[in-house]
Structure 1
Amino acid sequence: MTDPDWTDSDGNSNLHDQDDSTRVQYMVERIQAKLHDYEVYDFPMSEVRALNIFFDLAQEVRGREMFYAVCMAIPRILLGLESSIYILEDEDTFVLGGCSTGRCDREATRTWDHEFSEHPVISDNHLFIPIQSNPEYNDMLPFVPPHNILGIFEMHPCRALSEHDRLFLTKFINRVGFQLHHRIIRARNREHIRFIKSLVQDIGHNVIVPNMYFKLYFNRLKRQIEQLHLVTTDILSLMSECAPQKCTTEGNRLARITAGIEAQYQEIYSHYETTSMFLETLLRRRHFEEGRYVLDKREVNLSKTIMEPLLDRFRQRFDERGIQINLALGGAPDQTIRLIMDRGLISQVFDNLFSNALKYTEPSTLPDGRRGKFISYGWQILKDYFSPNKPGIRMWVASTGKPLELKNSMEVFKPGFRADNVAHKSGTGRGLYFVRQVVELHGGQVGYSHTGNSNEFYFILPFEHT
């Protein structure tokens, strides 16, 4: 069981929040307490060996049935007891998992009753001991087990059992519970992995491939718009020669409509390209196969390939919010930067930073006296940043506004974190955590600072280039 002094209000261990020395000291105290407990238990060598053998065989055997066989063999060898194991299938139903006898006459299912309870029970020469879960990991089960119970271990004949025998069986079945709990979790994880692998194939077939056809449709639409331009030009030419003024006016209106359709097409196509890149990057098959983000690093023109498409994507939304892009806060240098990175993931890093700027930018006064809502972005090469002859490139997005209320500047990059003074804004607290994951996967670092009148989010990557 978990020590209550080291748990939160939900019963979860908070030792991961402590430093190493505190955790070691806690474990020293727990080991000393366990040594004292075992002195009190006074288990003979045969019982100690039985526990050790159980742990060895529990790690050795595969399959739930073989594990049950190991569990039921221990009481038979030590105390001559036959047994059966019931597993909680849902909150109210126990299902027979196995019997130690060749022919099992036990009921296939049971529900909570005077024998199947949260405490050990002796009934009609049978001993019923609940199989306890590990509360630390109940959230990883299909449902939260009532009373932290995974099942019931039934044994007989039990009239001749001493108090010491019952104590040993209780402690043994506690260990059965923890082992069973982890086996259930591992089985669910294997099912989860199988599902993910199947899902990846379905994504490729049902999402990625159909999405590629949109490009074909866009190309067809583009050719139709080009034809519309040509026809409009011909009509205007003919009208200028022989048509009255009203027809010429309508022709000009047709030309403006055509130009508007093309502009809308270009905007939609730009969003399609970006969304398709994000979709294919996030749903990359290797992410699911390896259980982590996997980089596809190539040489990238930072300005042309990443920043300009993103700025086109956000410019109208910035305008609608009255946000100006102003490099007075510090801006992008003029030189062309080519470096090796995962274009899709780094594009999404900047997309997250621009999305935050869109939501959180506030009015402020610039050093030159202008007042309004401003953002800027930029990059700077840092010589020998990571080590001699290993430069870094620092990239950032800054936006005007009050500083975030943080105890530590890095806590803003934790999953689900929301600063108190922006908690009223919509958001999940996942965006900056994603930024941190991608940057650290590139071997880089993230950071936040408030400089003068703006909030700056930055990251530093190794400056790799050909």
Structure 2
Amino acid sequence: MTPDDPTIADEKYTCFSDEERLDYMEERIREKLEDYDGYDFSMRQVRALSIFFDLAQEMRGRDMFYAVCMMIPRVLFDLESRIYILEEEDTFVLGGTTTDDCYLEPTRTWDDELTDHVVRSKDTLYIPIFCNPKYVEMLPFEPPHNIIGNFVIRPCGSLAGHDQLFLEKYVNRIGFQLHHRIIRARNREHIQFIKSMVQDIGHNVIVPNMFFKLYFNRLKRQIEDLHVSTERVLTMMSGSDDADWIREGNQLARTASAIEAQYQEIYSHYEITSMFLETLLRRRHFEEGRYVLQKHEVNLFTSVLRPQLERYSQSFEERGIEVSVADGTSQDQMVRLVMDRGLIAQVYANFFSNAVKYTEEGELPDGRTGKFVSYGWQILKDFFAKDHPAIKLWVTSSGPPLELEDPLKVFQPGFRAGNVARESGTGRGLYFVRQVVELHDGTVGYRHNEFGNEFYFILPFEQEEER
């Protein structure tokens, strides 16, 4: 760790208020002023640092950056230099040199000169280049000792200790700038990969998936033909007195009905899976680096809620969970909303998935005990502003309250309550819910009420004629 390592900015500072953040920065600035007073750098050395920062921002490309790093010591201090970059955990590659020494090896490994501390060998100074340890996980590999290279300077046989301190500080600045350039280059490669992957998704996932619908349609027609043939067989056998033929005919009818029921179940899962695939893998998500909504007016219950209820019905039944519509909510009431059907469907999928895993025994206000899940919605007049109504949608599951100081903490990425550790999970489901709802200009929330744990979201009550 370098002498002026900035990792003092610990994670706890991300929780500062605005005033605390400003106070902390004032303190750090005053500490830096004291540090530079102690360094007592010459005017030429101060200018060297300023020129480095100016040119590092101006020059594009790794090679030009290396040239900046090496030419400042030559022009201002008559020092020759070369720079080694750690390309793998144990391999340094020569990035550039201001001399034409033919004996220089293009690659080197860790040794007595390229090490984790400053080394002076005869008239040559070897200074390790440190990365920013706060962002080490963003590098292609974890560098040993947080070192990403080595800066070699000569002639330094008569270099004073104060001048060596300046060179070490100078190389520290090189390290942080180099680290950021490596990250930027990696991000550019990542973006290019994503663009290529999006094209592959369309070609290898979305388009082939569309053919399944064609196959399902063909299968549906064949099932319809099977029903017609079955009816004919039963009609032909209706006048027969042969009990075996009648029994076989009835069995054929039951088999045809079972095949159709199985087809309907498989096709329902296919529709949901296809919708999720096409929603999550939209090209614009990747191109814009965020979820992009495709909003249309849909029937809330038939298009969004009911398919998810059917999807999780078997899981609820296996765990002995009774599912019902909340008091005051009428499924016969047609509620049409403008929303991104695919993303809001996944909001419900997350709610129901959590309800399957975390619903516990509880007692309802009417005295019944057991495991219960209810869902519902309510129109909220003038919720966002006058003449701007909202709709509140919720899923409630029986059980003790979550151990939370802040109810919204459950919607933070990676958060898992202390009393749900028995079930597997990533802690990202409710964070996804929050992202989707906020994209719809809505809000999310959690509360424990007399029925159990209620997770809800509130959306603007938009309809086509109002848009």
Interval of TM-score (by shorter of Structure 1 and Structure 2): over 0.9
Q: Give the corresponding residue for 2:89.
A: 91
Letter in 2 for 1:53: I
Per the TM alignment, residue 103 of structure 1 is displaced from its structure 2 partner at its CA by 5.8
Structure 2 residue 99 is matched with structure 1 residue 101:
yes
Gap change, CA 1:128 and 1:5, over 3 Å in 2: closer
Gap change, CA 1:262 and 1:138, over 3 Å in 2: same
Q: Give the corresponding residue for 1:455.
A: 453
1:52-96 CA-partner distances (Å, limit 9, x unpaired): 111111111111000000000110012111111001111111111
Correspondence for 1:217 among 215, 228, 239? 215
User: Which residues of 2 match residues 285-324 of structure 1 at below 5 A?
Assistant: 285-324=283-322
Q: Which moved more, 1:423-432 or 1:366-375?
A: 366-375
Q: Give the corresponding residue for 1:158.
A: 156
Per the TM alignment, residue 181 of structure 1 is displaced from its structure 2 partner at its CA by 0.4
Correspondence for 1:207 among 199, 205, 208? 205
User: Which residues of 2 match residues 41-190 of structure 1 at below 5 A?
Assistant: 41-102=39-100, 105-190=103-188
Q: Give the corresponding residue for 1:250.
A: 248
Q: Give the corresponding residue for 2:21.
A: 23
Letter in 2 for 1:436: R
SS in 2 for 1:340: strand
Letter in 1 for 2:168: T
> Is the 2:396–2:451 Cα contact (8 Å) retained in structure 1?
no
Gap change, CA 1:359 and 1:268, over 3 Å in 2: same
> Is the 2:362–2:398 Cα contact (8 Å) retained in structure 1?
yes
> Is the 1:329–1:375 Cα contact (8 Å) retained in structure 2?
no
Aligned mates of 1:282, 1:328 — CA distance in 2: 30
Per the TM alignment, residue 390 of structure 1 is displaced from its structure 2 partner at its CA by 1.6
Q: Give the corresponding residue for 2:228.
A: 230
Per the TM alignment, residue 102 of structure 1 is displaced from its structure 2 partner at its CA by 4.9
Aligned mates of 2:160, 2:182 — CA distance in 1: 32
Q: Give the corresponding residue for 1:358.
A: 356
Structure 2 residue 272 is matched with structure 1 residue 274:
yes
> Is the 1:127–1:156 Cα contact (8 Å) retained in structure 2?
yes
> Is the 1:225–1:262 Cα contact (8 Å) retained in structure 2?
yes
Q: Give the corresponding residue for 1:10.
A: none
Gap change, CA 1:334 and 1:221, over 3 Å in 2: closer
For structure 1, the residue ranges without an aligned partner over 5 or more in a row are 8-12
Letter in 1 for 2:185: A
> Is the 1:330–1:377 Cα contact (8 Å) retained in structure 2?
no
Aligned mates of 1:190, 1:243 — CA distance in 2: 79
Aligned mates of 1:407, 1:332 — CA distance in 2: 34
Structure 2 residue 377 is matched with structure 1 residue 379:
yes
Gap change, CA 1:330 and 1:413, over 3 Å in 2: farther
Per the TM alignment, residue 14 of structure 1 is displaced from its structure 2 partner at its CA by 2.7
Letter in 1 for 2:26: V
Per the TM alignment, residue 22 of structure 1 is displaced from its structure 2 partner at its CA by 2.0
Per the TM alignment, residue 288 of structure 1 is displaced from its structure 2 partner at its CA by 0.4
Q: Which moved more, 1:365-374 or 1:54-63?
A: 365-374
Gap change, CA 1:453 and 1:2, over 3 Å in 2: farther
1:27-52 CA-partner distances (Å, limit 9, x unpaired): 11111111011111111222212211
> Is the 2:130–2:147 Cα contact (8 Å) retained in structure 1?
yes
Aligned mates of 1:316, 1:254 — CA distance in 2: 27
Gap change, CA 1:333 and 1:235, over 3 Å in 2: closer
Letter in 2 for 1:15: Y
Letter in 1 for 2:357: K
SS in 1 for 2:291: coil
Aligned-pair identity in percent equals 65
Per the TM alignment, residue 3 of structure 1 is displaced from its structure 2 partner at its CA by 6.0
Per the TM alignment, residue 104 of structure 1 is displaced from its structure 2 partner at its CA by 5.5
What is the total number of aligned residue pairs between the two structures? 461
User: Which residues of 2 match residues 381-460 of structure 1 at below 5 A?
Assistant: 381-460=379-458
Aligned mates of 1:440, 1:370 — CA distance in 2: 36
For structure 2, the residue ranges without an aligned partner over 5 or more in a row are none
TM-score (norm 2): 0.96
SS in 2 for 1:459: strand
> Is the 1:331–1:376 Cα contact (8 Å) retained in structure 2?
no
Gap change, CA 1:104 and 1:167, over 3 Å in 2: farther
Gap change, CA 1:430 and 1:230, over 3 Å in 2: same
Per the TM alignment, residue 334 of structure 1 is displaced from its structure 2 partner at its CA by 3.9
> Is the 2:365–2:450 Cα contact (8 Å) retained in structure 1?
no
Q: Which moved more, 1:303-312 or 1:90-99?
A: 303-312
Gap change, CA 1:301 and 1:327, over 3 Å in 2: closer
